[in-house]
Structure 1
Amino acid sequence: MKKPMLITIICLLVFFGAIVAFKKFIFHEEKKISMQFKNPVVTISAMPAVSTEWGSTIDVVGSTRTVKGVNVTTELAGMIVEIDFTPGANVKKGDVLVRLDIAPDIAKLHELQAQASLDKITYNRDKVQYSFGAVSKEQLDTDYANMQSTAASVEEQKATIDKKIIRAPFTGKLGISAVNPGQFIDSGATVVNLETLDPIYVDFYLPQQEIPKAVVGAVVQVTTDRLPGKTFTGKITTINPIVNTDVRNVEVEATLPNTQEILLPGMFTNVSFSVDKPKTYITLPVMAVTFNPYGSLVYVLKKTNQQHNGKIVWKAEQQFVETGVTRGNQIAVLKGIKEGDVVVTSGQLKLKNGSFVVIDNTVMPSDNPNPVVKER
């Protein structure tokens, strides 16, 4: 009786002991797995913070404008009989562009010249007769007035004919023709546009508080999307003496040489000019900084004694920073880190304060202060 009961008790103890041992094993494995997920080793890219010397500049946008540019028009109406220019060609001041029909005006000129010749003969004859008392002084004065009047009419008719020969008002480059032979054009109608491309103006606006930093003669650097990577250099030539009351900005004009005629009127440009001596900043790629409503932060790495797959394991610590201006893909860090601090540049979304990481710089974010847009 006692022996079967003892066997039963022993079996129960073994059974419950096995259950407790299994539970302990499961708990241990779960704890082990939990520790693995609590501090996994994350792969990121990183680089040390470096000191960079930046000049203090003002960067604005502007637009180009010709030094001289007009729509060539006709002062008088008439029929076009001849077009003497090629659209897009370079012309010199005084070159004939268009001739209007002047046949009626030439006939009128001949009539006036004949009348002027007659009036001159009449005056000279009466002048001789006046010396003998054959005509009155009044008649001689009338003859003189008639002679002067017809001479003036001749000059007026010559000016009318000259106005119907349309010439280039200055040296420059022509645009697209707006007229055709045989076309009748009214007074003031556009014939073609004419632009002087070298040099060329760049107009831009500055806030009124920045005006003391802009001085006539200051060197400006201008870039445009038409020729990425090329910088045009010019100088500030005029500062408007009046402030725009709508936006409180002041217009500034810079003049640039444009011998290759790359810059065209109306083009969008980026304008930059130095205002102070260069300063030294701690810089990082913009991608290294995490911007939040409560502040900007970076992950600073501290080396540990551990290794993972043959690579040194680092510990990431959050560090709030104060950032300054950006230049291209770089950003200046004013407070929070020092030169030489190793900072995470990509992979921040996988991190938290105290995460362990290894560095793999196979792929790095751009750290170029003057990136160039590449066309696909």
Structure 2
Amino acid sequence: MLRRRMLIMLGIVLLIVLLLAGYKAFSIYRQIQVFSAPPPPISVAVATASERPWQNRLPTVGTLKALQGVNLSLEIAGTVKDLQFESGQQVKAGQALLQLDSAVESALLDTAQADLGLAQLDFGRGSQLVGSQAISKGEFDRLSAQLQKNKATVNQLKAALAKKRMLAPFSGTIGIRQVDIGDYLASGTVIATLQDLSSLYVDFYIPEQSVPKVALGQPVQISVAAYPGEQVEGKISAINPKVENSTRNVLVRATLANPGGKLLPGMFANLQVLLPDPQAKIVVPESAIAYTLYGNSLYVVAHRKAADGSEEKDPQGQPILIAERRYVETGERRDGLVLINKGVAKGEQVVSAGQIKLDNGAHIAISPDKLLPDHQNSQPRTD
């Protein structure tokens, strides 16, 4: 009886051991299946390398200047008697702006005009008397000289009186007034600035090796920090016929319209000189390029090949796509696109998002890139 019980217990223990061994073997089998299964494809977004006309540009910087601009000041000293403008006012050419006290000059002019009237009467009588030889020819010459002298004195005092008054030299916008009525102004004191903002100049420098690329009338695109995203068109109006000795640069001037007077003289400007003869170039989204010290690269969508050179396909019959790393020679970057000089052909699909997860030859699946416009997004190629 005891022996029978021992056999039963031994059988139960053996059964439990077998069950545990079977469960462990099944777990190991499941793990082997998981690790041996191929990894799922990596989801990436792709774009098509397209060929488009590429306008070469010469980037530079410059400073805006008014078509006409001066600091208003008087040649002579005096006390301000009248101000005839307000800060920021639009003025016309010849408009009176300021009047200095001119009482002394006006009195001297009245005296000189009285002397001139008397000299004219003496000259008139002398011209009658010299004909009848009532006075000598020398006396008549003295009367003529006195008349000319008095005329010159009157003209001199009129010129001095005119310098006591300031007129706008041209039409434009006057700046903030720097003086008040009653101020004594020394010669050369700045009263305000006057700027003609109807159109502007922008002066910039280009290296001497770029001189053959520019010409009069060539278009220029200008942008300023005050209005980000806006560009103003201009044209080259002058090229300095001399190279600066210290910098080996050439000064160039472009003219641009200024509707509404938004742009102001003195603003810092970024310029793009549009060079002639645009050429068809291969471009890809800037997000597709990986920049490293060893060179710039991107991932190109390719089909996985079998040992016999045929394309491998998935169970649904679609080609298996992989990412092929390729080093490229890049050029100018503009508007989210990069110029590809070498390494990618027209129509090839490149990975534009998700490439940080990739290695060369990684299995990929294509999904739309929400950061790219619809016309730049690519769909999987089955050809």
Same fold, TM-score > 0.5, yes or no: yes
Counterpart residue number, 1:286: 286
Is the contact made by 1:64 and 1:265 (CA closer than 8 Å) also made in structure 2? yes
Determine if the alignment matches structure 1 residue 197 to structure 2 residue 197: yes
The equivalences for 1:1-376 within 5 A come to: 39=39, 41-123=41-123, 138-303=138-303, 314-361=321-368, 363-364=370-371
Which stretch of structure 1 is more off in the superposition, 92-101 or 298-307?
298-307
1:89 Cα shift?
Answer: 2.0
Structure 2, unaligned stretches of length 5 or more? 1-10, 305-311, 377-383
TM-score (norm 2): 0.80
1:29-48 deviations in Å (ceiling 9; x for gaps): 66656557x95643322222
* C-alpha RMSD of matched pairs (Å): 3.8
Which stretch of structure 1 is more off in the superposition, 27-36 or 67-76?
27-36
Say if 1:17 and 1:317 are closer, same or farther in 2 by CA, change over 3 A.
Answer: farther
1:182, 1:250 → 2: CA distance? Answer: 48
SS at match of 1:358: strand
Give the AA of the match of 2:294.
Answer: Y
1:184-213 deviations in Å (ceiling 9; x for gaps): 111111111111122221222211111111
1:134 Cα shift?
Answer: 6.9
Counterpart residue number, 2:8: none
1:350, 1:322 → 2: CA distance? Answer: 23
Is the contact made by 1:76 and 1:186 (CA closer than 8 Å) also made in structure 2? yes
SS at match of 2:115: helix
Is the contact made by 1:330 and 1:367 (CA closer than 8 Å) also made in structure 2? no
Is the contact made by 1:281 and 1:332 (CA closer than 8 Å) also made in structure 2? yes
Say if 1:362 and 1:318 are closer, same or farther in 2 by CA, change over 3 A.
Answer: closer
Is the contact made by 2:47 and 2:285 (CA closer than 8 Å) also made in structure 1? no
TM-score (norm 1): 0.82
Is the contact made by 1:324 and 1:331 (CA closer than 8 Å) also made in structure 2? yes
1:357 Cα shift?
Answer: 2.7
1:220, 1:202 → 2: CA distance? Answer: 10
Give the AA of the match of 1:83.
Answer: L
1:328, 1:367 → 2: CA distance? Answer: 16
The percent of aligned pairs where both chains have the same amino acid is 33
Q: How many residues align?
A: 366
Structure 1, unaligned stretches of length 5 or more? 1-9, 370-376
Which stretch of structure 1 is more off in the superposition, 83-92 or 216-225?
216-225
1:113 Cα shift?
Answer: 2.0
1:226 Cα shift?
Answer: 3.7
